[in-house]
Chain A
Amino acid sequence: MKNSEISLKCHKIVGGYGEGEALVSHEPICFYLTDPKTGIVRERSHELTGKNLANKVLVFPSGKASSVVQIDGLFKLASNNVAPKAMIVKEVETVLIVSAFLVKVPLVDRLEKDPFKIIHTGDFVKVDAEKGRVTVKKRGS
């Protein structure tokens, strides 16, 4: 049903289209600290520890860690087809842009509303970076 979907404007960083179940992290993410074969987050005492980011639409505040490890981490996930389908962030930095660009995962920021208030883990999210639009279908709706 049309009105169960929320449509939000966003700002394209890396283009493309990706859709999937949302996985929300309130903490920054380092892709090096995930299992490259499965996409399961291995970083100790992270809110996503044990969760799988493969094929999800990942919503997180920003990236972290040195350029070499961050890029290599996402690259390995993508090589094994377990990278996220799209990424929505609050703050970008050069390393995260390069990482997403290399593996061709759509990356957007500046949603017109706070993504952490609108999107929850389990919602179904479509990210159309080219058109600058994010569509959220609430879980169970």
Chain B
Amino acid sequence: MYLTKEEELICKGEMGKGMQEAIKLLIAIGDAYDAEKMIPISRAHAASSGQEGDLYFVELLADGGAHCKVPTSTNPVYDIEYFDNLFEVPKNEAEVARRVMEAYKRVGAILSWSCIPYMAENIPLYGETVAFSESSATPYVNSVIGARTNREAAQSALAAGVIGKTPKYGLHIKENRKGTHLVKVEATLKDEFDYTLLGYYVGKRIGYGIPVLTGISRLPKTEELINFCAMSNVPGAISMFYIAGFTVEASIVKEAFQGDKPKDKITVTDHELKQVYEELQTTSGKIDFVMLGCPHYTLKQVEEAARLLDGKKIHDGVSFWVCTSATTKTLAQRIGYIDVIEGAGGHVVADTCIDEPCWIAYKDKVGMTDSPKCAYYRRFKEARVGRLQDCVETAIKGKQE
């Protein structure tokens, strides 16, 4: 890969050890993909996690004096204080999380601790070149917004944020953004949960590729798109997709395939979505918890949870959790949604991912969620997947009827 004079100096360590490590990683990636050069980015999102590999790299950069050159947001870890007051989070685990969060602060990141940063804290525009990790954020940014990002790891996104550049390969090149599979949607899509099932099915059928969806007749809602992005990356790796008639980069099918033929065609009917739903019913009967907010709930989803819980009481044996961003929690507090949810016996927690050691108390518990992604991570024994309304009703009764 061609390096400018400045990039060569960074690589020799003349701008400090942190920047040197960051650019070395970007060069390894660029060389692997035969990238001709690096291109500037205007923002990044690092999928931080409270795990040791993540800690090692962010501390390496922070200790080496690196500082984000472009706005770089962060993924959820967990609200250590909130959980400390409730459960016994293992001390060594909490220490890793504390150090991760402290190192991202030192490196100058936007401490958003949210997996949907494109909603509030770090919003790309159409056509922007960015480096967004988090498998659910990558397709949203590429497809819904029409900015350009590769499927990044937390570390490559952070390195890009620190250098302000990324190697030019993959989805930064127009030819690589063409559709690969044609997906005819004949299923009825009523709400965001139907998009959850659709995303899961499409990810499972295609695995790795760029699906082009046809047959969707109304403009999908934000939450529907968020769910499609997240769930298609549970059984698959979908970093970009098109919806004929709606997505910005190509609104007609021919354009999405850039004149080429699709590699494969699939059809999705109500039958396939019903099958996915049935596959996700891994338990029945009594539940110990409900976990919502994977990906983080939007303000609208928090409002909906509050509306369903208004004047109700969650069953004594059930813990009810909503994970969201600090931004959303602040607004929800101000508007009064949090009072309603807490009044019914639920929790709304910011900065927290459902895949973290803070959930240790649920290790052997059985519960329910509206997210197959949450169910997949298995910080608990088992979780059944259903609509939000179904989750709330089950939480009130304590069991599935």
A92 on interface, CB distance cutoff 8 Å: yes
In Å, the complex CA distance between A102 and B25 comes to 9
B303 on interface, CB distance cutoff 8 Å: no
Q: Are A13 and B56 in contact (CB under 8 A)?
A: no
CB < 8 Å neighbour of B135 from A67, A92, A102, A109: A67
Given that A71-B53, A72-B53, A102-B56 are contacting pairs, would A94 and B154 also be in contact in the complex, using a CB cutoff of 8 Å? Answer: no
B298 on interface, CB distance cutoff 8 Å: no
What DSSP secondary structure best describes chain A's contact surface? helix
In Å, the complex CA distance between A38 and B33 comes to 32
Q: How far is the CB of B128 from chain A (nearest CB, A)?
A: 19
Taken residue by residue from 32 to 56, chain B's Cβ proximity to chain A (1 for < 8 Å, 0 otherwise) reads as 1100000000000001010111101
CB < 8 Å neighbour of A102 from B53, B133, B233, B355: B53
Q: Which residue of A lies closest to B167 (CB)?
A: A94
B98 on interface, CB distance cutoff 8 Å: no
Q: How far is the CB of B56 from chain A (nearest CB, A)?
A: 6
Q: Which residue of B lies closest to A93 (CB)?
A: B151
Which residues from chain A contact B133 at a C-beta distance below 8 Å? 67
Q: Are A95 and B52 in contact (CB under 8 A)?
A: no
Q: Are B47 and A68 in contact (CB under 8 A)?
A: yes
Chain A 12-38 residues near chain B, CB threshold 8 A:
12-14
Which residues from chain A contact B15 at a C-beta distance below 8 Å? none
Q: How far is the CB of B168 from chain A (nearest CB, A)?
A: 14
A98 on interface, CB distance cutoff 8 Å: yes
B180 on interface, CB distance cutoff 8 Å: no
A60 on interface, CB distance cutoff 8 Å: no
Q: Are B31 and A13 in contact (CB under 8 A)?
A: yes
A97 on interface, CB distance cutoff 8 Å: yes
Q: How far is the CB of A19 from chain B (nearest CB, A)?
A: 21
Chain A 84-118 residues near chain B, CB threshold 8 A:
92-95, 97-99, 101-102, 109
CB < 8 Å neighbour of A109 from B25, B32, B155: B32
A124 on interface, CB distance cutoff 8 Å: no
Q: How far is the CB of A123 from chain B (nearest CB, A)?
A: 25
A7 on interface, CB distance cutoff 8 Å: no
Q: Which residue of B lies closest to A68 (CB)?
A: B49
Q: Are A76 and B154 in contact (CB under 8 A)?
A: no
A45 on interface, CB distance cutoff 8 Å: no
Which residues from chain B contact A93 at a C-beta distance below 8 Å? 151
Chain B 1-52 residues near chain A, CB threshold 8 A:
24-25, 28-29, 31-33, 47, 49, 51-52
CB < 8 Å neighbour of B155 from A66, A71, A76, A79: A71
Q: Are B32 and A97 in contact (CB under 8 A)?
A: yes
Q: Which residue of A lies closest to B150 (CB)?
A: A94
Q: How far is the CB of A11 from chain B (nearest CB, A)?
A: 8
Which of B29, B56, B153 has most chain A Cβ within 10 Å?
B153
Q: How far is the CB of B114 from chain A (nearest CB, A)?
A: 16
Given that A79-B52, A102-B53 are contacting pairs, would A71 and B28 also be in contact in the complex, using a CB cutoff of 8 Å? Answer: no
Which residues from chain B contact A14 at a C-beta distance below 8 Å? 28
Q: How far is the CB of B332 from chain A (nearest CB, A)?
A: 27
Q: How far is the CB of A64 from chain B (nearest CB, A)?
A: 9
Q: Are B28 and A13 in contact (CB under 8 A)?
A: yes
Which of B25, B28, B49, B154 has most chain A Cβ within 10 Å?
B28
Q: How far is the CB of B375 from chain A (nearest CB, A)?
A: 15
User: What are 16 inter-chain pairs, A to B, with CB distance below 8 A?
Assistant: A67-B47, A67-B135, A67-B153, A68-B54, A68-B154, A92-B33, A93-B151, A94-B151, A97-B25, A97-B32, A97-B156, A99-B153, A102-B53, A102-B56, A102-B57, A109-B32
- Residues of chain A at the chain B interface (Cβ within 8 Å): 12-14, 66-68, 71-72, 74-76, 79, 92-95, 97-99, 101-102, 109
Q: Closest 7 CB pairs between A and B?
A: A75-B53, A67-B153, A98-B153, A71-B53, A13-B32, A72-B53, A72-B51
